[in-house]
Structure 1
Amino acid sequence: MANLIPVAKTVGSNRMVPTISIPYPLGDPSTSKEEQWKLRYHRVGVALEALATEIQDQTVFKTKI
């Protein structure tokens, strides 16, 4: 999981899941707790799928939320 995908690519990360922001990578304090939970649940789910996916090259996994 990375805030700065270009930096993650440069340092050689092979699986990248975009996060929301630098100070709050898995949440947005301006939203409700329910909305934050949905964001976190989704991003962690994408990250787990990324770990279970066989890849050949650097891959950025898309997020819907």
Structure 2
Amino acid sequence: MHICTVTPISMTVGANRIVPAIAIPHPLGNPALKKDEEKALRRKIVMKALEALTTEVDGQTIFED
């Protein structure tokens, strides 16, 4: 499973579960947001990753919002 900002790279290396992130310098957050908004954003990404880990997949799957 990959949490990544450039999903084509994850596809190339063969990741079976891919969760898109925010940006290369801040994959799990956005420092421009208010503290509570960034916390909610981070939680959303982590929850999506947990969903990906518990979901049966057949081949490569990108878990979008």
Interval containing the TM-score (normalised by the shorter chain): over 0.9
Shift of the alpha carbon at 1:57?
1.2
Q: What number of residue pairs does the alignment pair up? A: 63
Instruction: State the distance in 1 between where 2:5 and 2:50 align.
Output: 17
How does the TM-score come out when normalised to structure 2?
0.94
How does the TM-score come out when normalised to structure 1?
0.94
Q: Which residue matches 2:53?
A: 51
Over the residues paired in the alignment, what is the CA RMSD in angstroms? 0.5
Q: Point out where structure 1 has 5 or more consecutive residues left out of the alignment.
A: none
Q: Point out where structure 2 has 5 or more consecutive residues left out of the alignment.
A: none
Instruction: Answer yes or no: is 1:3 the counterpart of 2:5.
Output: yes
Instruction: State the distance in 2 between where 1:57 and 1:12 align.
Output: 9
Q: Which residue matches 2:24?
A: 22
Runs (4+) of structure 1 moved beyond 6 Å? none
Instruction: State the distance in 2 between where 1:38 and 1:60 align.
Output: 21
User: Greater strand percent: which structure?
Assistant: 2
Instruction: Answer yes or no: is 1:61 the counterpart of 2:63.
Output: yes
1:37-65 Cα shifts (integer Å, max 9, x gaps): 010000000000000000011000012xx
